[in-house]
Amino acid sequence: MKTAAELAAEQAAYWNGPGGEGWLAAYQRIQRAIGEIGEVGLSAAAARAGEHVIDIGCGTGDTTAALARAVGLSGHVLGVDISEPLITAARAHRLDNATFAVGDAATHPFQAGHYDLVFSRFGVMFFADPVAAFRNIRRALKPQGRLVFVAWRTPQENPWGTTPTRAAQPFLPPQQRPGPEDPGQFSFGDRARVERILVEAGFGDLRFEPIDRQIWMGDSVAEVVAGAGRFGPLARAFAGAEPAAIERAKQAIAEVLAPHEKPDGVRLPGACWLVRASALPDRAHPARS
Ligand SMILES: C[S@@+](CC[C@H](N)C(=O)[O-])C[C@H]1O[C@@H](n2cnc3c(N)ncnc32)[C@H](O)[C@@H]1O
């Protein structure tokens, strides 16, 4: 079993290497796929004029920019991301009331008790030690400060993410599969686990709401197949495969997606949690602060 330090180093290397590059290259498509879910999260976060906000795992900074518009010039947003290339892209927004920092949100020295709101769109599932990370995040919040994030539910509930990979797998070299609690896209699928993490980290008033959407994957199967392997688990599998095997894998993906091609594109079900919680003051859980 890998140590927390090894898992954290792996995530940092991934998001500063192929993960960050792939995310940037595919970002317009990604935004089309997840933009609406992000809007649900932003509207639940309800950032107000004058508030101080952190955007965790802010990536290219689109949600940071939306939060900055909401808090106005009397407020401020800090976008934090472990990926230098993504923070470089985020800085191009040139926002007057937001700053961006390259850093691990699990250990970043946030100003304690300063923030009204911590938000994240799919940026909190990659911590090697999630309790320690959320404790660090909780310390940044004012007492009763809000935590609002969206995270994917289980792989079984997210065929948009699993169907192409499963179809391709038989033709590709075997991959080491992450455990359900290893840092990764689907590591927050189990609600009970997320509840345990947040309570242990000093949050209360937990609210979980499911968000279920058909996730746009491309305008056509041909387009999805052309982009397959540019990002995520398939990119890792394609990297070690012969060209002929990749071709067979792509054919298998095309076959499994064909029934889902409709006039408005290829869509498969996706499922997220919208999670809301409040920071409890230290005295409410002295053993855990
Ligand atoms: C799935 S992407 C989401 C990016 C962005 N929130 C969006 O929705 O466009 C996950 C992001 O979390 C960042 N990330 C992963 N681990 C992190 C950590 N420990 N601290 C800060 N950011 C992290 C990655 O670099 C990546 O930008």
Ligand 1 pocket residue status of 122, Cβ below 6 Å = yes
Q: Are 224 and 217 a contacting pair, CB within 8 Å?
A: yes
Name which residue sits closest to atom 4 of ligand 1, judged by CA.
Answer: 59
pLDDT digits (tens, 9 = 90+) for 162-196: 999 999 999 998 887 778 888 999 999 999 999 99
- How far CA 63 is from CA of 68, 110, 123, 274, in Å, comes to 8, 19, 11, 15
> What pLDDT does 284 receive?
61
148 CA from centroid of ligand 1 (Å): 15
- CA 12 to ligand 1 centroid distance, Å: 10
Q: How many Å apart are CA 175 and CA 222, to the nearest integer?
A: 25
Q: Residue 143 phi/psi, 5° resolution?
A: -55, 135
Whether the CB of 83 sits within 6 Å of ligand 1: yes
Shortest-distance Cα residue to atom 27 of ligand 1: 59
C-alpha closest to that of 42 among 74, 72, 64 = 64
**211, exposed or middle or buried, with CB in 10 Å at 0-12, 13-18, 19+?**
middle
| Tokens 């691990």, residue located | 104
Q: How far is the CA of 254 from the centre of ligand 1 (A)?
A: 29
**pTM metric for this prediction:** 0.95
Give the C-alpha separation, 158 to 178, whole Å: 16
As given in the structure block, the two tokens for residue 189 are 């699928």
Pocket test residue of 28, 78, 122, 188 for ligand 1, highest count of atoms within 8 A of CB: 122
User: Which residues of the chain carry a pLDDT beneath 50?
Assistant: 286-289
Chain-centroid distance, C-alpha 165: 19
Question: Dihedral of CA 178/101/146/215: which sign?
Answer: negative
119 lines ligand 1 (CB under 6 A): no
What spacing in Å lies between the alpha carbon of 121 and ligand 1's midpoint? 8
pLDDT score for 283 = 64
Q: Is 70 helix (H, G, I), strand (E, B) or coil?
A: helix
The reported pLDDT for the residue numbered 289 is 42
Amino acid at 177: R
Phi-psi region of 46 (alpha: psi -120 to 50; beta: other; left: phi over 0): left
CA-based nearest residue to 223, from 19, 18, 17, 32: 32
Ligand 1 atom with the shortest distance to the CA of 11: 16
pLDDT attached to residue 237? 84
**Ligand 1 atom nearest residue 108's Cα:** 20
Superfamily of domain 4-157+179-216+274-283: Vaccinia Virus protein VP39 (3.40.50.150)
Select from 64, 82, 88, 110 the residue to mutate for testing ligand 1; criterion: most ligand atoms less than 8 Å from CB.
82
Question: If DSSP states are collapsed to H, E and C, what string results for 228-281?
Answer: CCCCCHHHHHHHCCCHHHHHHHHHHHHHHHHHHEECCEEEEEEEEEEEEEEECC
Choice from 7, 28, 126 to test ligand 1 binding pocket (greatest atom count within 8 A of CB): 126
